[in-house]
Structure 1
Amino acid sequence: MAIDYSYYDFEIAEPPRVTSLKNVLPNPTFVEYGDDEYFVCDKRGYSYIPKQLAKDFLKHENEIIIDPRLQLQKVVRHIEYSANGVRIETEDNSTFYSKYAILSVSLGVLKSRLITYQPDLPYWKIKTFYQFDMSIYTKIFLKFPYTFWLTGPGTEFFLYTDDSRGYYTYWQHLENEYPGSNIIFVTVTDDESRRIEQQSDEETKGEIMQVLRKLFGKDIPEPENILVPRWWKNRLHGGSYTNWPIGVSEADFDRMKAPVGPLYFTGEHTSSNFNGYVHGAYLAGIATAETLVDCIKYKKCKEITSNDLPWMNPNTTQVTNKTEQTCNGVCCKAIQQERESLRSFYIDTIDSLQHALTNKCKPS
């Protein structure tokens, strides 16, 4: 099971039983760019990359972006949209207006109640969100007073086997690249990530030390520090990245990124080739921007029609770039309530399943 986990879960963050292996293997990223993987070890941090890209179009001084168009620390909570444009409200009561808007929030946020919409997003859009999985990928780092594990060539990775899939299975260390760092880390995913996120760091440390003492003996020291990311519980993420589940097609990706009137959608979850990767998000952002430019500059605005969605309720309200369609010329409150019920059903069902999964018996 540990070997199977290292081949599948370690890469795609979910087990093969829920993954469309037809579409994720061979991994398009490895095919396109090679299968070497690297850690970002630049002291300037990962954020240095988008900051350098942003300098091409945002005002900056001494490596600091000062352009007032870039508004940070603004949590979007409500979006109103129509043929006339978009109105966005943030948590600090700021309001922004525009003709169009591009939503690059994660799929986890799209599936949550963090942002409300007026009118509600159409049925086909909400349904598409819930066809995809927002997987969870967690690297737990521990720093020790000294190194007690093997170091040198061929020792960077090691596996731990357990009856429970993914229970602290995949281990790595930084000692080869950074001697004296005394840092080791373990990757957990999916159900284990959810379970661990709901317990204290002390509980997690206790479980990890039981595993390490089985591997290296009872006399190893306690860690000086532990870092446990919580991507799933973070309301601004709701997970790590998307997986391509069974039953999802290229057409579903098209619906995922399809605009709803003046609202355009982008992110790694809209990239059928490179979903789950930063370069997937980057390339998707470029593609979405080009699509919007075509709409603004050349009036080539894409719309989802009933021909694209043969199963769609013909009475479902849609907002196009020209007019706001309503059923029989009146505001359909019943349809709006049905949409909200649908969203609530999906969210409550997922919450119930996750609660059941994360409260299962822990391995002894």
Structure 2
Amino acid sequence: MAAAVEAFDVLVLGAGPAGISAARALLKEGSKSFLVLEARSRLGGRAHASDSLGTQKDLDHGARWIHGVCNDNVMVRLLRELTFDHPDDEGVEYQLCLPKDIDDDDAKLSTDPPFGISDAGDTEVNHSELILKVKGSPEQRPPGKNLTMIVSSSSQDGNITAREASPEARRVSRTIFQEIVESVMENPLETIHSTKASLKLDDGAFEEASLLDLLLLLHDPSHDNNNNNLNDKGKRDRFESICRENLVMKHPQVEETIASLSESEQELFREEVMALFNVEIATVVEAWEGSSLHVLSAKHGMEGTCLGGGHMILPFGYGGLVKRLAFPLVQGNHIRFQHEVISVETTTSSSDNEGSTVVVRCKVTEEGATTIKEFHAKAVVVALPLGVLRSRSIAFEPDLPAPVVHAIQTLGITMRGKIELAFPHCWWPTEYGRFTLACTHLQQSPTYHPYTTFIVESMSGPNILVCYVAGEFSKEIEEKSDEAIQEEIMTVLRQASLASGDIPDPLAIHVTRWLLDPYSRGAWTHCGKGSSPADVKSFRLNEECHQRHLFFAGEHTCDGSTVKGDDFGCVNGAWMSGELAVEAALKCLPS
């Protein structure tokens, strides 16, 4: 017997931050019936925290930092208004650590990455005060110092050695990175118009070019004809080659610094600068912008809005915040879990009074059995990740409009992950909150960064290190077993000589695999080559979608043009997109 069709005014697809936000807006509006359909058995999407290591501490497996702490950040406003009545908060009193009124100017502590490597070793990890903590508890952010190590193999005997990066090599590598890469990222149009690259890159080619393409046009002495015949790997190899042959290792600043050194010391310094240059790319491009050089759009990769302010963490995690914000929806049975959307069909009634009906079909798993259920709605908020839309696991009937399809196919999807490790005790030097490893012995390059960034999860509580991985290496990690990853990562940590004594094996390991996860298919969104901010706008502004009563939400729909804080690739943007989608949907419904 077929399951009865259920009908609602609005269906929300996905229970991540955008979907939860949309549902809360509908709950507040009060007059429309609604339901959230979620494929997983949990809520939160990519803002998910759990005790994956069995340490009685929830870890953020996805989003962790609140970026841009100021009055325009919706997540800051929600924290101020939140009533902590979730069961997890019973007997716990929280304390806001910032003044009630935050001026934008006062809040602009830093817009650098929260784990930038500049002057590593003698500056603090870029966390500001916690926005929220358990009242009376010690500050829970990690200690401030960074330690950067060069891990390499000897050319004579192949032995692995580790040494702390020198301040001079850090300074020189940072300067070279700013000159060669960062200046191009920040001013690509000025760069090509002021150099011979403009002769080789017309407007159409510029739209399709990656940052790596532009760097090769600017710096490859073999000119562009050869590069046009190279695939992505060939381009990556070519860029590494010109960096080693001339661009980095023989940069004037390097030559000036090593003039008084012996031949062996000169070679050591060159290798150190090259390794740290690669780490700068890993930190500023891959970790922060969310893309590798050969994927990030040369023209649009740095476009997008970002609120000023510090980078904040929460005692129960970003995922814990989303869980608390969703609590009224769970209590009211407004979310159906294990309901995987497989098709969205818009049908037009012959009666003008009835308008369009959107039919959503779900694969539902209950008690080990799978059935197909059908839901009808007058409007649908599609709050599914870009990666899920691209996977074509959901059939839209009729097909989505061409501009939306183009956006789905061309916007970049970030490869970013975490390897979480719980140890029996804290074996690392306690004054450090972050370790950066330049693993040259693992074929580190400008586009391949193995086991680079380790963050101390907390200075109080469990002894947890989290390794952040990105780009091609993140993709490679997802394909490996936890056992293989643990063996590799512990070998690297021991080779890095971070402790004077023995380093114990971890008690537990957890590896996030957002790219392989069928309900995320990636971490967040960036402008990849061939895409532009116009693609981002197409989700929200497409009139044909509105006529079909489809309204898109999520971090991939945020272009910052509607309201402040509507930021691309951020949870605060995703949250605002849910509210904006509901606002648009309600306009198409009878009052």
> What TM-score, normalized to structure 2?
0.45
Partner deviation per Cα, 1:155-179 (whole Å, 9 max, x = no partner): 2112111332221111111352x15
Question: 1:275: which partner in 2?
Answer: 568
1:251 corresponds to 2:530: no
Secondary structure of residue in 2 paired with 1:117: strand
Secondary structure of residue in 1 paired with 2:360: strand
Question: 1:290: which partner in 2?
Answer: 583
1:41 corresponds to which letter in structure 2?
Answer: P
Question: 1:67: which partner in 2?
Answer: 332
2:314 corresponds to which letter in structure 1?
Answer: V
Between the aligned partners of 2:483 and 2:403, the Cα distance in structure 1 is 43
- Report 1:41-190 matches (<5 A): 41-42=315-316, 46-49=319-322, 51-52=324-325, 55=328, 58=329, 65-83=330-348, 84-92=356-364, 93-152=372-431, 155-162=432-439, 163-164=443-444, 165-176=448-459, 178-179=460-461, 181-190=462-471
Shift of 1:117: 2.2
Q: Contact between 1:143 and 1:223, CA under 8 Å: does it hold in 2? A: yes
Distance change in 2, residues 1:130/1:171 (3 Å): same
Between the aligned partners of 1:128 and 1:265, the Cα distance in structure 2 is 12
2:338 corresponds to which letter in structure 1?
Answer: Q
Distance change in 2, residues 1:47/1:195 (3 Å): same
Q: Contact between 2:436 and 2:454, CA under 8 Å: does it hold in 1? A: yes
1:185 corresponds to which letter in structure 2?
Answer: V
Distance change in 2, residues 1:41/1:175 (3 Å): closer
Shift of 1:215: 1.0
Secondary structure of residue in 1 paired with 2:535: helix
Between the aligned partners of 2:467 and 2:320, the Cα distance in structure 1 is 24
Between the aligned partners of 2:361 and 2:409, the Cα distance in structure 1 is 25
1:199 corresponds to 2:473: no
Q: Contact between 1:10 and 1:170, CA under 8 Å: does it hold in 2? A: no
Shift of 1:226: 0.5
Secondary structure of residue in 1 paired with 2:410: coil
Shift of 1:21: 6.6
Report sequence identity in percent. Answer: 26
Shift of 1:128: 1.8
Q: Contact between 1:242 and 1:269, CA under 8 Å: does it hold in 2? A: yes
1:239 to 519, 522, 525: 522
Shift of 1:221: 1.3
Question: 2:173: which partner in 1?
Answer: none
Q: Which moved more, 1:106-115 or 1:246-255?
A: 246-255
1:222 corresponds to 2:505: yes
Shift of 1:101: 0.8
For structure 1, which runs of at least 5 residues remain unmatched after alignment? 59-64, 299-364
- By relative contact order (CA 8 Å, sep 6+), the higher-ranking structure is 2
Distance change in 2, residues 1:253/1:25 (3 Å): closer
1:37 corresponds to which letter in structure 2?
Answer: H
1:3 corresponds to 2:280: yes
Distance change in 2, residues 1:215/1:288 (3 Å): same
Q: Contact between 1:82 and 1:262, CA under 8 Å: does it hold in 2? A: no
Question: 1:37: which partner in 2?
Answer: 311
1:187 corresponds to which letter in structure 2?
Answer: Y
2:401 corresponds to which letter in structure 1?
Answer: P
Shift of 1:187: 0.4
1:9 corresponds to which letter in structure 2?
Answer: E
1:49 corresponds to which letter in structure 2?
Answer: V
Shift of 1:192: 1.3
